[in-house]
Amino acid sequence: MTDKQTILQQAVANQDVPFIVAMVGNSNDVTWQGQAGDGAPGIAAGENTVMRIFSATKSIGSTAAMILVDRGQLDIDTPVETILPEFRDVQLLDGFNEAGQPKLRAPEVKATVRHLATHTSGFAYEFFNADALNFMTATEHPSILAGSKASMYYPLVCEPGSGWQYGIGIDWLGQVVEAIDGRRIDRFCGEEIFTPLGMADTVFELDDGRNARLADLNMRGPDGVFGAFELAPPPNPEVYGMGHCLYSTAADYMKYLQMHLDKVATGDGRILSEAAAERMQTNHIGELRVNKLVTTAPELSADFEPFPDIPKTHSFGFMRNEDDVPGMRSAGSQSWAGVCNTHYWFDPKKDVRAVLFTQSLPFVEDRFMKLYEDFERAVYAEL
């Protein structure tokens, strides 16, 4: 078995990634870290390299909501519209007319907080759902990355609770937290999550110091070569979308994963009770399953179906594996990623947490996923 550092170095040498930062730990300590390549020209990547984590933001939004559940301020089966009356304006897409214009109607099922957190609300991203893309094109609806309140009114593509669709539910969940708590979501996360966990480099806005440590983002072109590409959360938006808005580092994200892995920890790093942390990691979608994501924008993402032979559900914050993956993570493991290939998982059964972070597009291209599998197998081979 090739060692972890060699796997990273070979991936950069082969241009599978522009650079890579990886860390491994258990519930007590970081047990290994490695990196290869430059995050920016002449600046070696490392554990404190700042990156756009995009959808790795999502579980933090869900954690914010679970903090309120833990305090008795929020019930996860509450209809969203009882907390956010404006949510009544969200419509369901019921096909298109002959002119290609969308037909909309009120949904028959009221979406709940649980639906938002588990991608079962019916919202779907346009880059993984053709109907959503056609709606956006026909109506010139702004992308969620516009950062405006208006951009959040995507239509549902299915009735809440009827299927797993990857979309903007957690952007709305952040608004639920704001409405109940009274603080804006950036202040809430700073005071309730980042400061207690010591996540000093996890931020909504970059200052000069962190901007100097920000890695470049590279997209693979038609010639197979990486080139610079501009994509980032919108600065100072009208609404901070908890589906995508954060910057962080590998070191900070490992601190966050430690909190979830070590559910019985006490002291300053305890932001959820043991019962709430346990509840967060259980299957929250019943018999539904996380299905294959089929891209509508191959320059941004490949199709995504991790562990296709393994049933996967969704916990309150993460994708959850329901069976062991031979030689890799265990049943009950939790994971997800951001579109620029910031990947993470934690395995409560085997006491493992790990991150594999870079800044590249497309998301989950075959070359990256081969690196991910090789790295994960090396992690478990050494246990």
Q: How many CA atoms lie within 13 A of 357 on its CB side?
A: 34
List the catalytic residue out of 58, 255, 263, 312: 58
Contact at 8 Å (CB) between 281 and 260?
A: yes
Cβ contacts of 61 within 8 Å, gap of 6 or more: 170, 171, 173, 174, 177, 185, 242, 243
Concerning whether 312 is annotated as a catalytic residue, the answer is no
Catalytic residue among 4, 59, 62, 166: 166
Query: By C-alpha distance, which of 277, 368, 329 is closest to 17?
Result: 368
- The beta strand positions in the chain, using DSSP E, are 20-25, 30-36, 38-40, 43-44, 51-52, 92-96, 102-105, 218-220, 226-228, 247-248, 312-314, 319-321, 334-338, 342-347, 352-357, 360-361
Cα gap 46→48, rounded to integer Å: 5
Q: Are 353 and 25 in contact (CB under 8 A)?
A: yes
Q: Is 55 a catalytic residue?
A: yes
The DSSP letter of residue 89 is G
Q: Which residue has the tokens 């202040």?
A: 187
Q: 27, 55, 59, 315: which is the annotated catalytic residue?
A: 55
- State the Cα–Cα distance between residues 342 and 201, nearest whole angstrom: 15
Query: Catalytic site residues?
Result: 55, 58, 166
